[in-house]
């Protein structure tokens, strides 16, 4: 192939790579961020929730919680300990109790989230990491070192 033809092909190849690589990296980050979406359950099957894209962050909705159930095991308790008196009469079923999780590509985790505990009425800071396909949800007050981690597996 003559040198004149090879040079434009090389330049075109370099330009193609320069244009598509950032798009591929962006897609990979979006895929990693969306890994949190789905239905998750604790190892002891005591809690199940759905993580979803809340438009710029990720949130979680309560589907089942052993501690959130009445003694009959079928009826959800009321949110009676909520600090907002107007919300104390609502059922804990379907409550969005995880909010504000944003993907941090550098640290490979979802940070800046909050976790509401309907059984106590308290809200904790939280973050999510993935380890071997399992979710680790860490709730804490102040610093993550002073927290507790729930391990969950994907239901779907």
Q: Which residue segment(s) compose the domain that 28 sits in?
A: 1-34
58 and 92 share one domain: yes
Q: Would you call 146 helix, strand, or coil by DSSP?
A: helix
- The tally of domains found in the chain comes to 2
Q: How confident is the model at residue 24 (pLDDT cuts 50, 70, 90)?
A: very low
58 and 28 share one domain: no
Asked if residue 96 lies in contact with residue 109, where contact means CB atoms within 8 angstroms, the answer is no
For residue 118, what is the DSSP state?
T
Per-residue pLDDT of 66-115, as tens digits, reads 999 999 999 999 999 999 999 999 999 999 999 999 999 999 999 999 99
Residue 10 has pLDDT above 60, yes or no: no
Q: What is the pTM of this model?
A: 0.79
62 and 128 share one domain: yes
The tally of CA atoms less than 13 A away on the side-chain side of residue 57 is 14
7 and 73 share one domain: no
Strand partners, 149: 138
Residue 18 has pLDDT above 70, yes or no: no
Q: How confident is the model at residue 6 (pLDDT cuts 50, 70, 90)?
A: low
CA distances from 114 to 15, 44, 51, 138 (A): 43, 23, 13, 10
28 and 39 share one domain: no
Q: How confident is the model at residue 4 (pLDDT cuts 50, 70, 90)?
A: low
Query: Minimal CA–CA distance to 65: which of 136, 125, 152?
Result: 152
Asked if residue 68 lies in contact with residue 76, where contact means CB atoms within 8 angstroms, the answer is yes
Phi, psi (5° rounding) for residue 22?
A: -60, -35
Q: How confident is the model at residue 32 (pLDDT cuts 50, 70, 90)?
A: confident
Rounded mean pLDDT of 2-23? 46
12 and 40 share one domain: no
84 and 104 share one domain: yes
CA–CA separation, 63 and 39 (whole Å)? 9
26 and 8 share one domain: yes
75 and 101 share one domain: yes
Phi, psi (5° rounding) for residue 69?
A: -105, 150
17 and 92 share one domain: no
CA–CA separation, 26 and 39 (whole Å)? 25
Residue 23 has pLDDT above 90, yes or no: no
Give the domain CATH number at 100.
2.40.128.520
Task: For the chain, report the end-to-end CA distance as a whole number of angstroms.
Answer: 54
124 and 50 share one domain: yes
98 and 25 share one domain: no
State residue 15's pLDDT score: 41
């Amino acid at each position: 192939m003559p040198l004149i033809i090879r040079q434009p092909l090389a330049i075109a190849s370099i330009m193609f790579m320069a244009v598509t690589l950032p798009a591929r990296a962006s897609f990979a980050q979006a895929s990693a961020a969306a890994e949190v979406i789905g239905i998750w359950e604790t190892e002891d099957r005591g809690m199940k929730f759905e993580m979803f894209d809340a438009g710029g962050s990720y949130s979680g909705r309560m589907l089942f919680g052993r501690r959130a159930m009445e003694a009959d095991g079928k009826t959800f308790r009321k949110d009676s300990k909520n600090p907002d008196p107007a919300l104390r009469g609502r059922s804990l079923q379907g409550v969005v109790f995880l909010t504000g999780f944003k993907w941090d590509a550098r640290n490979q985790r979802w940070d800046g989230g909050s976790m509401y505990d309907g059984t106590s009425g308290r809200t904790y800071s939280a973050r999510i990491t993935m380890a071997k396909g399992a979710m680790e949800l860490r709730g804490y007050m102040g610093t993550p070192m002073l927290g507790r981690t729930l391990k969950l597996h994907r239901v779907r």
